[in-house]
Amino acid sequence: MPIAAFILCSCLTFAAIAAGVRGAWAEEALRAEHAAPRAQCFSTTQTRERIEAHKLSDPFECMRAAAREHQGEALGARLCHIDELFIYEISLLRPDGRILRVLFDAATGKPHSGHRDR
């Protein structure tokens, strides 16, 4: 009889672990569903295509404006699609050596609320 008890106990332990893992997966899926929208950023070729197709503003003008506004040197820009908006993420080198990431609305060419220090 001890082997039967061991098998029963093992099966119950396995079932409990499986239920816990399944619950954790469900919780993770729920969190991902309600998380902030993810950015989809584009390659240089894809960026050119989207600028033309959607009549987006010139990224170099946005880079110059960002450099003037934040007294930094523009290092580069990339186009991302975030929450139905096209956004330029512009990297600036500040005089203190820190990198500043500034967001511009690619449709209007105006600064977008929010920037990230690094």
- What would the pLDDT profile of 32-57 be if each residue is shown by its tens digit? 555 555 789 999 999 999 999 999 99
Architecture of domain 40-117: Roll (3.10)
Retrieve residue 67's tokens.
């450099």
Q: What pLDDT, on the 0 to 100 scale, is given for residue 39?
A: 82
CB 70 within 8 A of CB 90: no
Q: What pLDDT, on the 0 to 100 scale, is given for residue 83?
A: 86
pTM above 0.85, yes or no: no
In this structure, what are the phi and psi dihedrals at residue 93, rounded to the nearest 5 degrees? Answer: -100, 120
Distance CA 72, CA 74 (A): 6
CB 101 within 8 A of CB 91: yes
98 three-class SS: coil
Q: What pLDDT, on the 0 to 100 scale, is given for residue 117?
A: 46
Q: Give the CA distances from residue 116 to residues 49, 53, 63, in Å, rounded to whole numbers and listed in that order.
A: 27, 28, 15
- Bridge partners for 77 per DSSP: 90
**Per-residue pLDDT at 73 exceeds 50:** yes
- Which uninterrupted H or E stretch holds 92? strand 85-93
